[in-house]
Amino acid sequence: MLLVLAACAAPVSDLPAAQDTARGDTGADDTATDTGPTGPDVPPPALTASEVGAALDVALAGEIPTFPEAIGAFSALMALGVGCTPDDRFFKILDPEGCLAPSGVTYSGAGGAVGGWDDAGEVYTYELRGDLVIIDAAGVPYEMGGDIDTVVTPYVGGLAFSQQFLGTFRYPAAPTWLGRGTSGSAWIEADIGDDGALVAQVDGGYDLGGASVYFDALTVGGACGSAPTGAIRLRDMSGYWYVFTYGPECDTCGDVAYAGDSLGAACVDPTAAMAGIGEAVRTWMSDHPVVTE
Amino acid sequence: MILALLLACAPVAEAPPADEAPATMGLPGPPTSALALAGWEGDAPYLTPLSAPRLLRRMSLDLRGILPSEAELDAVEADPSALDALRDAYLADPRLEDRLVALFAERWHTVMDEYEVNSDDYGLFPHDADMFAHAVGEEPLRLLAHVVVNDLPWSDVVTADYTMANEMLGSVWPLDYPEGEEGWKVARYTDGRPAAGVLSTNGFWWRYVTNESNKNRGRVAAISKLLLCTDILARPVVFERSTETDPEHAIRTQPACQSCHAAIDPAAASLFGYWWVIQYNPYEMDTYHAEREPLGPTLLGVSPAWYGTPINGLVDLGWHVAEDPRFVRCGAQSFAEQLWHREVALRDYASVEALRSEFVASGLSPLTLLRAVTDTAEYRAGGFTPDAPDIVRERERVERLLSPNQLGAVIAEETGFAWTAAGYTQLENDVFGYRVLRGGVNGYSATEVQQAPGLTWMMVNTRVAQAAAFSVVARDLDAGEGLTVRGVTLETTASDPALATALTSLYWRWYAERPDDAWTEAITALWATVAAEEGTASAWRSVLEAMIRDPKFQAY
């Protein structure tokens, strides 16, 4: 009978919802003394619109993470792994004690980096993937949980670049973003011109120097030319988000909203951070030219 | 039955408002006047209560994990009305917290032997593996227990801005656990995760993991089952054959899929701070990823919401769970189920509704609820009336088996024997131990406490009883401490009245009943037979082992 009863029950979403009752009403009868929840009340914003803009400027000053630094540091450490990393590309060391190489570097976990030009020399791909920690000879750990996938396709006059960045990467001995460490789930698509022209779009989130930032189609070189379009979110420590959205004027300014309400205008210039993407890729590729037989 | 069907199938529009009769198990409640006719008044009329001493024993085991003292048994034997005061004292006993953790583990299933990240991932010593696994699994349970023992509003379990941690978790997770301290203490995560009580604990999400295709949906099912007593997976959804090849498209478009996913997916969209790119990785799994919160709407195609009401994400989720009418009723239902040792069904509507009402009237006081559950006929049942139908006799638990946790605690308290090996508590794990063989819950494949004796259950009891009896003889008779077996020595003979006195005293203490002459004669004869062949120490070991293996000891 229970099945029959359940079958003819209304969908839960059709039943009286908690939200239909007054705040804090947990369904008590008339005699109840209800001390149940009375929230959540969205706390007032901790930042003004201009402070949000300034915070985003600071976050973006630390550059947007790209693959070269992560792979470069990993490859350098792998090169010191004689006795632990036989092919210099992968290792899988399940012993929690790790493997101590004569170089003084300790390897633990599993991961690797593989990539290069395809046979035709037309597409360059690289993947770094790891669930590992490598402790360098100075005792500094390179902690990794995730993967970075990169595809670079040269064309006449530039490079088409895409990157998927997923996971946590931290190596305090490295300069820039890897040294500070980051966690992210983000995607970049870019056309990087040899002449410095850049069309780039970033989607997804990064922890940038302790600030949680999320890009919604942040684009330069698009509809507004060199001026940015799209939006950038900044998370308040309360758990709510500020949303900075570029306006139609094609400048670096836009509106800041918090919990759906506008806080006013602010300006955020991502040009340098976006240019850094192009510069990092261009430098890496110049160091890894196509090899023809 | 027809009336019951009519009641259940009544249009929802005719159901009473949420603040008058909250839904149960997704169904509107019946008008109270129809309870008796519908057969929803429960089994109480067919139940007879335990004797006061035996009931005190049940309460002590449930609330403290140990047996009552002889003085307490004497008090309720002389005056059964003393029971309530002793029960209230048990509710204030410091052992209640550990006992609740063990009890919640049976329902929440967060305590497992292994997780996707284990102690070796943090470079901890191998002998800390069990302590680490228990610490992870107990984290959310300790928070639940903390709310209960401090009698905080039950809604705190999903809104608290803190968790509970011990020194081990404090050393490896992003917590502000006080430096140099030890033991379970209030602590806060330092990684920016929102305040959502157990929904902000690593221990909960390490148990209820997700993956790339599931996208946190299973986690919503866990929230629904544990906090709303609504088992989404039990819904009788009928799927039609489809040529659809994209499951995500089907979920968004097929009515059968939407019957659940319309509610599941928006809630799942609020959980992407716990979206791990690589599982089995400590850096990913022990830290909240605030920057991934907005991924939910992107990956699921829906904005965060709780049953139709938009929310801002996890930061709002706990509050909305707490405000859901099913949450309070589920609190009452789940406490009843755990202490009644059976599932609550529609026939229990009136009993659970009474508990819910008292719970609400108390301001969601968990101790009030615990007290109320221990007042119910179902909790106090020790037998049946002569006219009790067979179905009632089958479903009510008038005798409950000691869980492995209770057995371990009682044995340690009564005999001084604590069963450990290589850092593992043998009745609390299955790596080297015997938790499941003894009828316990391991969190994933054994999810209900064994309710009836079985072969491995008996074998483990035998070993425990043997070791415990050995411990008592060594302590009380060889060393002469006389803590459990009193007033006798290894020179005491079968004809010495002190022997019978010691045994009958033990019977009272361990079973909360007075032995009859037949038992006293039989146990004395057993003692004498073994003593004649193997000596008095062996005789004591034999009778103590027999008494521990006795159903009167193993049940309560």
d(Cα B259, Cα B261) in Å, to the nearest integer? Answer: 6
d(Cα A146, Cα A140) in Å, to the nearest integer? Answer: 19
User: Of B410, B350, B359, whose CA–CA distance to B553 is shortest?
Assistant: B410
DSSP string over B252-288: HH-HHHHHHHHHHHHHHTT-GGG--SSTT-HHHHSS-
Residue B146 sits in the same domain as residue B236: yes
Cα angle for residues B6, B12, B15 (degrees, 5° grid): 80
Report the phi/psi class of residue A115: left, alpha or beta, with left for phi > 0 and alpha for psi in -120 to 50: left
Q: Name residue, tokens 């037949």.
A: B518
Q: How far is A14 from chain B (nearest CA, A)?
A: 8
Interface predicted TM-score (ipTM)? 0.86
CA B25 vs. chain centroid, Å, equals 20
- Among candidate residues B302, B323, B344, the one where a domain is terminated: B323
Residue B40: per-residue pLDDT: 60
Please check the confidence at residue B4 and state whether its pLDDT lies above 90.
no
B294–A contact, CB cutoff 8 A: yes
In a domain, B228, yes or no: yes
Do residues A220 and A204 touch, judged by C-beta distance below 8 A? Answer: no
In a domain, B410, yes or no: yes
Distant-in-sequence, close-in-space partners of B521: CB < 8 Å, separation ≥ 6: none
B118–A contact, CB cutoff 8 A: no
Find the distance separating the first CA and the last CA of chain A, reported in whole Å: 77
What proportion of chain B, given as a percentage, has pLDDT over 70? 93
User: Of B307, B272, B316, whose CA–CA distance to B292 is shortest?
Assistant: B272
User: Of B379, B419, B354, whose CA–CA distance to B40 is shortest?
Assistant: B354
In a domain, B41, yes or no: no
Residue B247: per-residue pLDDT: 87
d(Cα B416, Cα B484) in Å, to the nearest integer? Answer: 9
For A192, A282, B45, B269, B552, the CA distances from A195, given in Å and listed in that order, are: 8, 11, 89, 42, 88
B70-78 and B497-511 helices cross at what angle (nearest 10)? 80
DSSP SS3 for A186: strand
B312–A contact, CB cutoff 8 A: yes
Residue B280 sits in the same domain as residue B131: yes
Residue in chain A lying closest to B293 (CA): A205
Residue B233 sits in the same domain as residue B126: yes
Report the phi/psi class of residue B122: left, alpha or beta, with left for phi > 0 and alpha for psi in -120 to 50: alpha
Report the phi/psi class of residue A209: left, alpha or beta, with left for phi > 0 and alpha for psi in -120 to 50: left
For A151, B333, B395, the CA distances from B344, given in Å and listed in that order, are: 57, 7, 10
Please check the confidence at residue B106 and state whether its pLDDT lies above 70.
yes
Cβ–Cβ below 8 Å for B153 and A35:
yes
Residue B306 sits in the same domain as residue B215: yes
CB atoms within 10 A of CB B519: 17
B328–A contact, CB cutoff 8 A: yes
Which B residues in the span 223-242 are in contact with A, Cβ-Cβ below 8 Å? 230, 234-236
B349-361 and B325-340 helices cross at what angle (nearest 10)? 120
d(Cα B418, Cα B63) in Å, to the nearest integer? Answer: 20
Model pLDDT for residues B189-220, shown as the tens digit of each residue? 999 999 999 999 999 999 999 999 999 999 99
Q: How far is B198 from chain A (nearest CA, A)?
A: 15
CA B122 vs. chain centroid, Å, equals 29
Residue B295 sits in the same domain as residue B412: no
Model pLDDT for residues B137-179, shown as the tens digit of each residue? 999 999 999 999 999 999 999 999 999 999 999 999 999 999 9
Do residues A274 and A220 touch, judged by C-beta distance below 8 A? Answer: yes
For A205, B17, B229, B275, the CA distances from B213, given in Å and listed in that order, are: 20, 38, 25, 12
d(Cα B368, Cα B332) in Å, to the nearest integer? Answer: 10
Cβ–Cβ below 8 Å for B281 and A131:
yes
What proportion of chain B, given as a percentage, has pLDDT over 90? 85
| Bond before A40 cis per omega within 30 degrees | yes
Task: Give the mean pLDDT of B64-73.
Answer: 97
Domain count, chain B: 2
User: Of B515, B104, B12, whose CA–CA distance to A13 is shortest?
Assistant: B12
Residue A39: per-residue pLDDT: 58
Residue numbers in B near A145 (CB within 8 A): 276-278, 281-284
Cβ–Cβ below 8 Å for A16 and B284:
no
Cβ–Cβ below 8 Å for B19 and A206:
no
In a domain, B380, yes or no: no
What are the boundaries of each domain within chain A?
66-287
Torsion sign (Cα): B503, B504, B507, B509: negative
Model pLDDT for residues B224-276, shown as the tens digit of each residue? 999 999 999 998 888 887 787 888 988 988 888 999 999 999 999 999 999 99
CA dihedral of A233, A234, A235, A241, whole degrees rounded to 10: -50
Do residues B54 and B383 touch, judged by C-beta distance below 8 A? Answer: no
Q: What is the gyration radius of the CA atoms in chain A, in angstroms?
A: 25
Q: Is A279 exposed, middle or buried (0-12, 13-18, 19+ CB in 10 A)?
A: middle
B421–A contact, CB cutoff 8 A: no
> In 3-state terms, chain B is what percent helix, strand and coil (to 5)?
55, 5, 40
Distant-in-sequence, close-in-space partners of B527: CB < 8 Å, separation ≥ 6: B494, B499, B503, B539, B540, B542, B543
Residue B436 sits in the same domain as residue B296: no
Model pLDDT for residues B301-340, shown as the tens digit of each residue? 999 999 999 999 999 999 999 999 999 999 999 999 999 9
Residue B290 sits in the same domain as residue B191: yes
Q: Name residue, tokens 């008592």.
A: B472
- Residues making up chain A, counted from first to last: 293
Distant-in-sequence, close-in-space partners of A87: CB < 8 Å, separation ≥ 6: none
- Quote the domain boundaries for residue B227: 99-323
User: Of B116, B117, B114, whose CA–CA distance to B130 is shortest?
Assistant: B114
pLDDT digits (tens), chain A, 293 positions: 333 333 333 333 333 333 333 333 333 343 444 444 555 688 999 999 999 999 999 999 978 999 999 999 999 999 999 999 988 889 999 888 899 999 999 999 999 999 999 999 999 999 999 999 999 999 999 999 999 999 999 999 999 999 999 999 999 999 889 999 999 999 999 999 999 899 999 999 999 989 999 999 999 999 999 899 999 999 998 999 999 999 999 999 999 999 889 999 999 999 999 999 999 999 999 999 987 65
Cβ–Cβ below 8 Å for B25 and A143:
no
Residue numbers in B near A37 (CB within 8 A): 153, 155, 159, 319, 322-323
Residue numbers in B near A13 (CB within 8 A): 262-263, 307-308
- Among candidate residues B292, B323, B354, the one where a domain is terminated: B323
- Among candidate residues B323, B339, B367, the one where a domain is terminated: B323
